[in-house]
Amino acid sequence: MPDMPVTICTYPFVFDAQAKTTLLQTDAVLQMQMAVDQAHRQNFSSFFMPVVESVDPCLMLVVRRENIVGDTMEVLRKTKNLDYKKPLRVIFVGEEAVDAGGVRKEFFLLIMRELLDPKYGMFRYYEDSRLIWFSDKTFEDIDLFNLIGVICGLAIYNLTIVDLHFPLALYKKLLKKNPTLDDLKELKPGVGRSMQQLLDYPDDNVEDVFCLNFTITVENFGATEVKELIPNGDDVVVNKHNRQDFVNAYVDYVFNTSVAPLFEAFYEGFHKVCGGKVLQLFQPNELQAMVIGNTNYDWKELEKSTEYKGEYWADHPTIKLFWEVFHELPLEEKKQFLLFLSGSDRIPILGMKSLKLVIQPTGGGEQYLPVAHTCFNLLDLPKYTDKQTLRAKLIQAIDHYEGFNLV
């Protein structure tokens, strides 16, 4: 037999989640550079060959806040697959900020909040788990699910955390792994517990105690409907011998059968941008952590890794006041500060130190608010001398973070 080529992708178990993330990010940067170089070559050719069309080296999205979904769809529907590999640049109409990363972060935050809102009927919100999953019936265009997949792929590709309240099952399916009863327990805890009780029931009278057949009752837009899990499932009683088959069919219906066309559109959109061998290195939980970040907050590590510019240093009186105030804030206010600073209230998979907070002084007086440059995780902090003033100004700033304008 000829020698088979050996690549790092052959042995994913030798890498931890952080190493895999670094590999994926490096691969994305290389692909971006290749796409930019190709655009520059095409633009150079267009000078000498009028039939060659000049192109933008970036994927440009010019959107209005009040119509962010419609404007984005209009651009992405016309976008060639190759253009998804270009660096993303976002412009909000009527706002002056140049997108060095911060505008892009807010774009992902706002568009995902809009697209995933259960009021549109594309996704169903589960109160017990506070998670969402694809609706099995929707009146929206299936192209929207493709768009959501593209947006998620673009977020990963452009190294941006997005706020997705999906269960782990989504990431399993993106990696072609099958959801299990554990995933049902995560999405629908009550139903999951009932299924486990069915499997664990020790006696033989399963039929009499549980009174189940191979059907599932679903509710859509206020109407209740009974669906068969197998052919003639209404006539098949669940007993001790077939109860595992029932649970498997129930899980398969929830995560696969009922949402197949919608998820396929999402999957296709996601893999337009973010497919490839490096992605296959990930386990589902690692991919989830990379997409949405995590909540392993280490506020002391944030302080320890912060850098200072200008007149500020770690023991400057204003800096000491800042950290005193910050560490006294409740968790929700600290998370709001992260959102204000970086565009996300979650921690990158590479850890708190990867945020690289930078604090610099400003020339204004104590009447001015702190200003965050989310592109660079940079905080402009006036030279406050009073703890109460610093606290009031910081909270006022982080409670009004949305929107980009030049100061």
What's the confidence (pLDDT) of residue 25?
61
Residues 123-168 have pLDDT tens digits of 988 999 999 999 888 878 888 899 889 888 888 888 788 878 899 9
121, 128, 136, 212 from 191: Cα distances, Å = 22, 10, 17, 13
Segment 223-227 shows an average pLDDT of: 87
What's the confidence (pLDDT) of residue 55?
59
Segment 243-256 shows an average pLDDT of: 96
Distance, CA of 47 to CA of 50 (rounded, Å): 7
Distance, CA of 45 to CA of 34 (rounded, Å): 17
Question: Is 375 a catalytic site residue?
Answer: yes
pLDDT-based confidence at residue 57 (cuts at 50, 70, 90)? low
What's the confidence (pLDDT) of residue 406?
34
- 358-361 sheet: strands from edge to edge: 307-308, 358-361, 378-381, 371-373
Residues 315-337 have pLDDT tens digits of 999 999 999 999 999 999 999 99
Question: Among residues of the chain, what percentage have pLDDT more than 90?
Answer: 44
Segment 239-257 shows an average pLDDT of: 96
pLDDT-based confidence at residue 286 (cuts at 50, 70, 90)? confident
What's the confidence (pLDDT) of residue 223?
79
Residue 76 CB neighbour total at 10 angstroms: 20
What's the confidence (pLDDT) of residue 99?
52
Among 27-36, 172-181, 187-196, 294-303, name the one with the lowest average pLDDT: 27-36
pLDDT above 60: residue 117: yes
Given the residues 9, 152, 211, 375, the one annotated as active site? 375
Segment 19-39 shows an average pLDDT of: 63
Residues 165-182 have pLDDT tens digits of 899 999 999 999 999 999
Mean pLDDT of the chain: 83
Segment 310-317 shows an average pLDDT of: 94
Buried b (16+ CB within 10 A) or exposed e, 284-301: bebbbbbbbbbeebeeee
Collapsing DSSP to helix, strand or coil, 347 comes out as strand
Distance, CA of 193 to CA of 186 (rounded, Å): 10
15, 269, 299, 302, 378 from 331: Cα distances, Å = 32, 35, 10, 14, 21
What's the confidence (pLDDT) of residue 50?
59
What's the confidence (pLDDT) of residue 41?
63
What's the confidence (pLDDT) of residue 405?
40
Highest mean pLDDT among 33-47, 265-279, 340-354: 265-279
What's the confidence (pLDDT) of residue 237?
95
